[in-house]
Each structure stands twice: as structure tokens, then as C-alpha cells.
Structure 1
Amino acid sequence: MPRRTSPPPEALATPEYWDTRYTADPTPFDWFRNPTSIHPFLTKHLPPPISNPSILHLGCGNSLLPEDLHKRNYKDQTSIDFSEVVIRDMKAKYEGFEGLRWEVMDVREMRGVGDGKFGVAIDKGTLDAMLLGSLWDPPEEVRRNTKAYIDEVARVLKSGGLFLYITYRQPHFVKPIITREDVWPDFEIESIQEEGGMFEYFGFVMRKK
């Protein structure tokens, strides 16, 4: 496997970087916890499979999470990423899996996605890839990218829909970015930490009013 190196932070918000990375190393990779480790968080908050919620994976990469949820009988999942390379590979890998769809799309401008289309949106590392520089006073690029992204997530969620966001960032940095008092007046924050784990992650739970 090619050695993963740290790119310039600004590269993470570009499709060119990810196309190159996925071409060099197509090995499945999950940011901020593998699917099994976040089962308790997802089981607590996801609607039951019998209700067949429409799930949107934001910046899916080649995560195993859609496959994991499919095994748990979630059969209406759309995964989007702005890397044409990874979407091509995921379409080929999961051809024939009922209810798993893959689309090339930028989460900051989800063209073709109607208002209120999805019941659940899941982010596991995508927003974090847009964060660089000092988060006490984010650069204009960060403010612009994160605003466009969160506004789009709010737009494509149904009334009552859930936005589940998993991050390693401290909540006091994230709150100003994701807060939308006119969309989700409040939200829950949970600690996600495996026994013996070195790092603490946080799960944000937002419900669109």
C-alpha cells in the first residue's frame, strides 16, 4: 500500500487532490472511526430500517459505512463525492447492491438535488477537510466553504430530517460553523470514544425543524 502523506491543508478541499489519492491508493479508508465503532451512535439516532429513511453520505470517499448500513437493511442510500475517480470505483464495486447509489457532486453545491429530498445526512470527516488555519478566526476561504456546505445540507434535508456529523474538532470551534438557528434551533453533542482509545471524537445531532 502506498504510504499516506499529509498534503497541504488547502488541498483537501479540491477534487484534484482526491482524484490523485484514490488513483494511487484505492484501499477503503474510514475517517474518524470505522463503521463498527460508531454503531452505538448510529443505532441511537438513525430511524429504524423498517421506516426506509433516505440517507445521504456527504463526501463519501471509499468509506465502508454505506455497505455496513446496507447490511443492517438500510436500502435507500445516496453517496456523493466530488472525486470522479472514487465514485467510478465505488459504482463498480457495489454494482448490483440494491438501494446504493453513487453520484459525482460537490457538497457545497448539490446540483440536481431537490429541496427536502433526504431524511438523514451523514458527515464523517467532510466538513473537517474544509477547516484550516486558525479556527479562532477562520480564513475567508474556510468561512465561504463551510457556509456553502452547511446551507446546502440544510436545504436538502426534509423537515424533521437528521444531520449527523462526526468530528475530532472541539465543539467550541464547530458550533459557530454549523449553527443555524432558523433551521435547527439546538443540537446534541455526544462523546464517541472506544474503551482504551487515544482520541475523543464528537457526534453532533441536528434535526431540521
Structure 2
Amino acid sequence: MGSNLCYKDVAYWNERFASEENFEWLAKWEDFSHLVLPHLKLDDRILHIGCGNSNLSMILYELGFHNITNVDFSSVLIEKFSLAYPHMKWICDDMRGLKRLPTCSFDVIIEKASIESLTVDEKSPWNYSEDAITNIDTVLSGIFRVLAQNGIYFSISFTQPHFRVPLIMRNREWSCCVQEFGHFFQYFCYRMRKGEKPDWNNLQRYFKITANGVNDESICKESIVEHEQGLEVFNGIFDDND
């Protein structure tokens, strides 16, 4: 599983995207569309960050959502897809900050497994390094900044909520809803609405992590196993796209 370190390297992605036409991380649109579509309006300004060569934006466009902006840090990908799909916007930018995007400029933001790429060199999800926490926090702060008031951010992830929710809720005024999906593997759809008060009674169960681990040993064992399975999918050991 050492080869996954290249996922943080833009040179790797430039080389890969030069020849690869499409790859879907974690899950296909039809696997989680029922969790996203009810919250979308046709005139929404949609941002897909870490878009890669996923066909998610193309599917949304075919469904009638025509105001779509795609962001990736691979210049090769952006140039290639700008020519192939000129009816959508393509911007080369780092998701850590989204500095090229105006404040409060999107109604919906979708991110699918992009944050995971920032933690590929972490030894344990229970004890992220300061660099990893800073990177994730920078991404989430950038998303919060460009998201319009009452806008929604969807994060599609294999990361267990006990690891993700505490980071999502750090110093940000939005709600957080966690929904599970998947068949053989368990994935999560995190839905945040900017300006909506969070349901802390529901979210507090995800804050059982302490400096020395977690209070519930069964949660610890289950989460470790499921997180390791998710990493195997992310690293290409298993292909859950079939």
C-alpha cells in the first residue's frame, strides 16, 4: 500500500490524466444520487472540487444542472477537459484554499474522496499529524468561504464519522448530517448546510475520541477495520465500481 503516497503528487496526476479518460473513486453516481438529488435545484451554482476525470459533472449536466464549475490541481486534466466539455467551467486550483474562487459564489459543493488524498501518508486515523489536520482544515475553510449562505456541501467518503465529523465541525457554522450507503463496502455522505444550526444531540456520538483513543472499545475496533477496508478500495486493491 506504499504506492498511494503518489496521490498527493500533482506530477503523478498530470501523467495519469494524460492517458486515462475516466475513473470513479469509491462509488458511482447511482450509488449515492438518492442522497444528493433531493437537495439540488436546477439553477444551483455547483462546484465539483477535486473533480479528476470522474463523470459526475457530466451526469449532472445531462440531468439539467448547467451551472457547473470543476476544480482540480492537475493542469493537464483541466486543459484536456476544457476542450472536451466547453459547456462547463474548468479551473486549475488547489483545493487547499480555493484561492481562485470568489467568496460565497456557489450554492452546492461536491467533493468525492478528495480529502482522503491528503491523508495517504498518515499512520493512523486516530492520530493525524499536525500537517494533515492543517491541510484538511484549510480545505474545509476554503469550502466554507466559497459556499453561499444556506448552501450545501456534500462530501462522499469512506472515512468513518468518528474521524471526519470532529474535523468538519471545527470552528465552522454549518450543520452536519451523516448518511451511510454502499453494498459490499460502507461509504458515507456528509451533508453540511452553511448557516444552519447543527444538531449537537445527534453529533455528539461522533466526539467520543479522546487524546488516548476512544471511550468505546467496540467503536474503536469496528472503525479501524472499516477504515482499513476503505483504504484498500482507495488504493486500488479492490475495485468496487463493478
Larger radius of gyration: 2
| Equivalence map 1:120-139=2 (5 Å) | 120-132=108-120, 133=122, 134-139=124-129
Tell me the amino acid that sits aligned with residue 22 of structure 1: F
**Aligned residue in 2 for 1:86:** 77
TM-superposition CA deviations, 1:22-67 (whole Å, max 9, x none): 12x4221111211222221121222x21xx0000001000110111
Distance in 2, Cα, partners of 1:121 & 1:72? 17
Moved over 4 A (4+): none
| Equivalence map 1:178-189=2 (5 Å) | 178-184=168-174, 186-189=175-178
Q: Which runs of 5+ in 1 are unaligned?
A: 1-5
**Aligned residue in 2 for 1:192:** 181
Q: In the superposition, relative to structure 1, how do residues 145 and 176 fare at CA in structure 2: closer, same or farther (>3 Å)?
A: same
Specify the SS of the correspondent of 1:103: strand
**Aligned residue in 1 for 2:26:** 32
Aligned Cα root-mean-square deviation (Å):
1.5
TM-score normalised by structure 1 residue count: 0.87
**Aligned residue in 2 for 1:3:** none
Q: In the superposition, relative to structure 1, how do residues 142 and 10 fare at CA in structure 2: closer, same or farther (>3 Å)?
A: farther
Deviates more, 1:55-64 or 1:26-35: 26-35
CA contact 1:117–1:157 (8 Å) conserved in 2: yes
2:45 to 40, 54, 59: 54
Q: Determine what percentage of the aligned residue pairs are the same residue.
A: 28
TM-superposition CA deviations, 1:51-98 (whole Å, max 9, x none): x00000010001101110001100100000000111111112113x3x
Q: Which runs of 5+ in 2 are unaligned?
A: 196-242
TM-score normalised by structure 2 residue count: 0.75
Relative to its length, the structure with more helix (as a share) is: 2
